[in-house]
Amino acid sequence: MLVASLLVASFLIFAAMYAAPGNPLAALSGGRSLSPEAQAALEQRYHLDQPFFKQYWYWLSGAVHGDLGISITLKQDVSSLIAQRAWITMSLVLYASILIVLIGVGLGIVAGLKSGWLDTSILVVSSFCAAIPAFVAAIVLALVFAVTLGWFPTMGTGEGFFGNLRALTLPAISLAISAIAIVARVTRAAIREEAGKEHVQTAVSRGIPRHFVITRHVLRNASIPITTVTGITIASLIAGSAVVEQAFGLNGLGQWLVRAAASKDLAVVQGISLLLVIAFVVVNVVVDILYAVLDPRVTLGQRAS
Amino acid sequence: MTATTIETQPQPAGAGSPLLEVDSLALQLPVDGEYRPILRGVSFTLAAGEALGLVGESGSGKSMTVRAIDRILPPRARLEGTIRFDGQTVADLSGAALKKYRGEVAMVFQDPRAHINPVRRVGDFMTEVLRTNLGVKPKAAAERAVEMLARVGIPDGARRLDQYPHELSGGLLQRVMIASALLTEPRLLLADEPTTALDVTTQAEIMAILDDLRRDFQLAVLFITHDLDLASAVCNRTAVMYAGEIVEVRQSSLLHTDPLHPYTSALGAARPDISESAHRLQAIAGRPLSALEAPPDACAFAARCQHHEDVCDSSHPDLVAIDGGLTRCVRADDLRGRLGVSHD
Amino acid sequence: MTAMVTTTAAQESPRRRGLRSRLGVSGAIAATIVAIASLVAVIGPWIAPHDPTIANLSQAWLAPSADHLLGQDVQGRDVLSRLLAGARSSMLGPLLVVVVCMVLGSSLAVISAWRRGFTDSAISSGLDILFAFPAILLAALSAVVFSPGLWAAVAALSVAYTPYVARVLRGAMLRERNQPYIAALEVQGSGATSICIRHLLPNVMPLMVAQATILFGYAVLDLAVISYLGLGVQPPNPDWGVMISENQSGILQHYPMPALAAGACIVAVVVAMNLLGERLLERSNASGR
Tell me which DSSP letter residue C44 carries.
H
Give the model confidence (pLDDT) of B273-314 as tens digits.
555 554 555 677 777 777 778 887 888 888 888 888 888 888
Give the pLDDT score at B19: 92
Alpha carbon distance B133, B180 (integer Å): 14
Q: How confident is the model at residue B8 (pLDDT cuts 50, 70, 90)?
A: very low
CB within 8 A of C15, min separation 6: which ones? Answer: none
Q: Is the pLDDT assigned to residue B342 strictly greater than 50?
A: no
Give the pLDDT score at C236: 85
Give the pLDDT score at C6: 37
Give the pLDDT score at A157: 77
Low-confidence ranges of chain C (pLDDT < 50): 1-17, 289
Of B101, B107, B114, the CB nearest to A199: B114
Q: Tell me if C128 sits within 8 A of A5, measured CB to CB.
A: yes
CA angle A255–A256–A257, rounded 5-degree value: 90
Beta bridge partners of B245: B242
Q: Tell me if A287 sits within 8 A of A235, measured CB to CB.
A: yes
Identity of residue B257? T
Q: Tell me if C242 sits within 8 A of C75, measured CB to CB.
A: no
Instruction: Please tell me which residue, B343 or A16, carries the higher pLDDT value.
Output: A16
Rounded mean pLDDT of chain B?
Answer: 84
DSSP B263-321: HHHHHHHTS--TTS-GGG--PPSS-PPPTTTS-TTS-TTGGG-TT--GGGGTSPPP-EE
Beta-strand pair B105-108/B88-89: unpaired
Phi, psi of C177 (to 5 degrees): -60, -35
Mutate to test the interface with B, among A194, A200, A202 (most CBs of B within 10 A): A202
DSSP B3-41: --PPPP-S--TT--S-SEEEEEEEEEEEETTEEEEEEEE
Give the model confidence (pLDDT) of C97-123 as tens digits.
999 999 999 999 989 888 888 989 899
Alpha carbon distance C183, B113 (integer Å): 32
Length of chain A: 305
Q: How confident is the model at residue A176 (pLDDT cuts 50, 70, 90)?
A: very high
Give the pLDDT score at C22: 63
Q: How far is A115 from chain C (nearest CA, A)?
A: 24
Does residue C236 have a cis peptide bond before it, meaning omega lies within 30 degrees of 0?
yes
Beta-strand pair B51-55/B220-225: parallel
Q: How confident is the model at residue A8 (pLDDT cuts 50, 70, 90)?
A: confident
Alpha carbon distance C268, C79 (integer Å): 17
Sign of CA dihedral C153, C159, C165, C168: negative
Identity of residue B46? L
CB within 8 A of C140, min separation 6: which ones? Answer: A257, A258, A260, A261, A269, A273, C231
Helix, coil or strand: residue B327: strand
Alpha carbon distance C237, C216 (integer Å): 22
Q: How far is B176 from chain A (nearest CA, A)?
A: 13
Q: Is the pLDDT assigned to residue A277 strictly greater than 80?
A: yes
How far are the Cα atoms of C187, C249, C279 from residue C175, in angstroms, in the given order? 19, 52, 22
Q: Is the pLDDT assigned to residue B13 strictly greater than 80?
A: no
Tell me which DSSP letter residue C58 carries.
G
Instruction: Please tell me which residue, B114 or C7, carries the higher pLDDT value.
Output: B114
First to last CA, chain B: 31
Beta bridge partners of B80: B26
Of B71, B102, B111, the CB nearest to A198: B111
Q: Three-state SS string across C66-106, please?
A: CCCCCCECCCCCEHHHHHHHHHHHHHHHHHHHHHHHHHHHH
Phi, psi of B15 (to 5 degrees): -80, 130
Give the pLDDT score at C193: 83
Q: Tell me if B293 sits within 8 A of B243, measured CB to CB.
A: yes
Segment 116-155 of chain A within 8 Å of chain C by CB: 131-136, 139-140, 142-143, 147, 154
Q: Is the pLDDT assigned to residue B115 strictly greater than 90?
A: yes
Give the pLDDT score at B271: 66
Which residues in A lie closer than 8 A to residue C266 (C-beta atoms)?
133, 136
- C53: Cα separation from own chain's centroid: 25
ipTM of the complex: 0.86
Radius of gyration of chain C (CA): 22
Beta-strand pair B188-192/B105-108: parallel
Alpha carbon distance B240, B251 (integer Å): 11
Of C125, C128, C143, the CB nearest to A262: C143
CA angle B69–B73–B76, rounded 5-degree value: 135
Give the residue on C whose Cα is nearest the Cα of A278: C132
Average pLDDT for residues B89-115, to the nearest whole number? 91
> Could you give the percent of chain B with pLDDT greater than 70?
90
Length of chain B: 344
Of A17, A135, A276, the CB nearest to C144: A17
Rounded mean pLDDT of chain A?
Answer: 87
Mutate to test the interface with A, among B71, B104, B117 (most CBs of A within 10 A): B117
Q: How are strands ordered across the β-sheet holding B88-89? A: B34-46, B20-31, B78-85, B88-89
Give the pLDDT score at B31: 83
Average pLDDT for residues A206-232, to the nearest whole number? 93
Q: Is the pLDDT assigned to residue A305 strictly greater than 80?
A: no
Contact B117 A221 (CB under 8 A): yes
Query: In this structure, how many other beta carbons lie within 10 angstroms of the beta carbon of residue C42?
Result: 12
Q: How far is C2 from chain A (nearest CA, A)?
A: 32
Q: Which stretches does DSSP call E strand in B184-235?
A: 188-192, 220-225
Q: Is the pLDDT assigned to residue A45 strictly greater than 80?
A: no
Give the pLDDT score at A204: 92
Average pLDDT for residues A59-80, to the nearest whole number? 84
CB of A228 within 8 Å of a chain B CB? The answer is no
The segment with the largest mean pLDDT, out of A151-160, B15-24, B36-45, C13-22, is: B36-45
Alpha helix stretches (DSSP H) within B134-199: 138-151, 157-161, 170-183
CB of A44 within 8 Å of a chain C CB? The answer is no
Q: How confident is the model at residue A25 (pLDDT cuts 50, 70, 90)?
A: low
Q: Tell me if B110 sits within 8 A of B191, measured CB to CB.
A: no
Q: Three-state SS string across chain A, please?
A: CHHHHHHHHHHHHHHHHHHCCCCHHHHHHCCCCCCHHHHHHHHHHCCCCCCHHHHHHHHHHHHHCCCCCEECCCCEEHHHHHHHHHHHHHHHHHHHHHHHHHHHHHHHHHHHHCCCHHHHHHHHHHHHHCCCCHHHHHHHHHHHHHHHCCCCCCCCCCCHHHHHHHHHHHHHHHHHHHHHHHHHHHHHHHHHHHHCCHHHHHHHHCCCCHHHHHHHHHHHHHHHHHHHHHHHHHHHHHHHHHHHHHHCCCCCHHHHHHHHHHCCCHHHHHHHHHHHHHHHHHHHHHHHHHHHHHCCCCCCCCCCC
Give the model confidence (pLDDT) of C26-82 as tens digits.
788 888 898 898 998 888 888 878 888 887 778 777 778 877 778 777 777 888 888
Which residues in A lie closer than 8 A to residue C134 (C-beta atoms)?
236, 238-240, 276, 280
Q: What is the pTM of this model?
A: 0.84
Give the pLDDT score at B107: 93
Q: Is the pLDDT assigned to residue A132 strictly greater than 90?
A: no
Q: How confident is the model at residue A30 (pLDDT cuts 50, 70, 90)?
A: low
CA angle C281–C28–A181, rounded 5-degree value: 60
**Chains with at least 3 CB pairs less than 8 angstroms from chain B:** A
Segment 143-182 of chain C within 8 Å of chain A by CB: 143-145, 147-148, 167
Alpha carbon distance B272, B274 (integer Å): 6
Give the pLDDT score at C283: 78
Q: Tell me if B242 sits within 8 A of B301, measured CB to CB.
A: yes
Average pLDDT for residues A62-91, to the nearest whole number? 86
Q: How far is B95 from chain A (nearest CA, A)?
A: 9
Alpha carbon distance A253, A255 (integer Å): 6
Give the pLDDT score at B1: 40
Which residues in C lie closer than 8 A to residue A280 (C-beta atoms)?
132, 134
> Could you give the percent of chain A with pLDDT greater than 70?
94
Q: Is the pLDDT assigned to residue B46 strictly greater than 50?
A: yes
Instruction: Please tell me which residue, B229 or A175, carries the higher pLDDT value.
Output: A175
Alpha carbon distance A247, A1 (integer Å): 37
